[in-house]
Amino acid sequence: GESVGLHLPTLSVQEGDNSIINCAYSNSASDYFIWYKQESGKGPQFIIDIRSNMDKRQGQRVTVLLNKTVKHLSLQIAATQPGDSAVYFCAENKSGGATNKLIFGTGTLLAVQP
Amino acid sequence: EPEVTQTPSHQVTQMGQEVILRCVPISNHLYFYWYRQILGQKVEFLVSFYNNEISEKSEIFDDQFSVERPDGSNFTLKIRSTKLEDSAMYFCASSYVTDTQYFGPGTRLTVL
């Protein structure tokens, strides 16, 4: 049968502005969270991660915030550039077992306008 | 910088045929994974592999699927009898320990 793709939420920003991409996760037992960037036709690219014992983690131009109370994760990109245009996925992970599967969110399309 | 590689980049096959998708994980990684992404949808976990055996598999990973690490470098996903709904991007990933997973560029599988 015909499959219907998900309608991706889209965030459109001007070059140089800050971007905030949000994600709600499902499993309160998840203790490790990762943001991935996926450009068209490519695999997910690791951006930044955070463990549940932290509320905030900063990288180069990116910051991840974790609110465990409401199971919410956000990715902030400072001074957004055209090269940041991509789909951004959050992924959650429950560690402690022999391995860890990632549960991906729906994704947000970030469109940077020059 | 080490990276996960996958071949082929695009595989076209007839329904009912067997396909083997190949991956070379990052060399010192110990954990290996396959995910798939149907066009326009989110990335879905298929299977994880550690110490030469499957650690976990999803509902998608039925008897038509199998994985193998035939040597010290390759990690393969075999689909025995492809179906139309197997058409997707298949991503291999690897990790050193059970944390950050690094993904390959994917193989686009088209089943006709």
pLDDT single digits (tens) B20-73: 999 999 999 999 999 999 988 889 999 999 999 999 999 999 999 999 998 888
Instruction: Name the pairing type of β-strands A32-38 and A19-24.
Output: unpaired
pLDDT single digits (tens) A96-113: 566 688 999 889 999 999
Residue A30, pLDDT score: 85
Give the bridge partners for B11, in sequence order.
Answer: B109
| Chain A touched by B75 (CB under 8 Å) | no
Residue A1, pLDDT score: 35
Asked whether A55 and A66 are in contact (CB, 8 A), the reply is yes
CATH class of B5-111: mainly beta
Contacts A3 to B, Cβ<8 Å: 38-39, 41, 85
Asked whether B112 and B43 are in contact (CB, 8 A), the reply is no
CATH class of A10-38+45-113: mainly beta
Contacts B56 to A, Cβ<8 Å: 97-99, 101
Give the bridge partners for A92, in sequence order.
Answer: A33, A103
Q: Do A89 and B43 touch (CB under 8 A)?
A: yes
Q: Do B42 and A95 touch (CB under 8 A)?
A: no
For residue B49, the number of C-alpha atoms closer than 13 Å in the C-beta half-sphere is 24
Residue A97, pLDDT score: 63
Asked whether B101 and B49 are in contact (CB, 8 A), the reply is no
Chain A residues at the B interface, defined by Cβ less than 8 Å, are 3, 5-6, 8, 32, 34, 36, 41-46, 49, 89, 91, 93, 95, 97-107
Q: How far is B48 from chain A (nearest CA, A)?
A: 7
How many other C-beta atoms lie within 10 A of the C-beta of residue A62? Answer: 17
Specify burial of residue A69 (Cβ count, 10 A radius: 0-12, 13-18, 19+): exposed
Structure tokens at A22: 């949000």
**A28 vs A24, A32, A83, A106, CA distance in Å?**
11, 11, 33, 18
* In the predicted structure, residue A27 carries a pLDDT above the cut 50: yes
Q: Do A104 and B43 touch (CB under 8 A)?
A: yes
Residue A99, pLDDT score: 67
Contacts A106 to B, Cβ<8 Å: 42
Nearest to B106 among A3, A32, A43 (CB): A43
Q: What is the mean pLDDT of chain A?
A: 88
Residue B82 CB contacts under 8 Å (≥ 6 apart), including other chains: B13, B14, B15, B16, B17, B18, B19, B109, B111
B11: nearest Cα among B89, B91, B103: B89
* In the predicted structure, residue A3 carries a pLDDT above the cut 60: no
Q: Do A43 and B91 touch (CB under 8 A)?
A: yes
| Edge-first strand listing for the sheet containing B5-7 | B5-7, B19-24, B75-79, B65-68
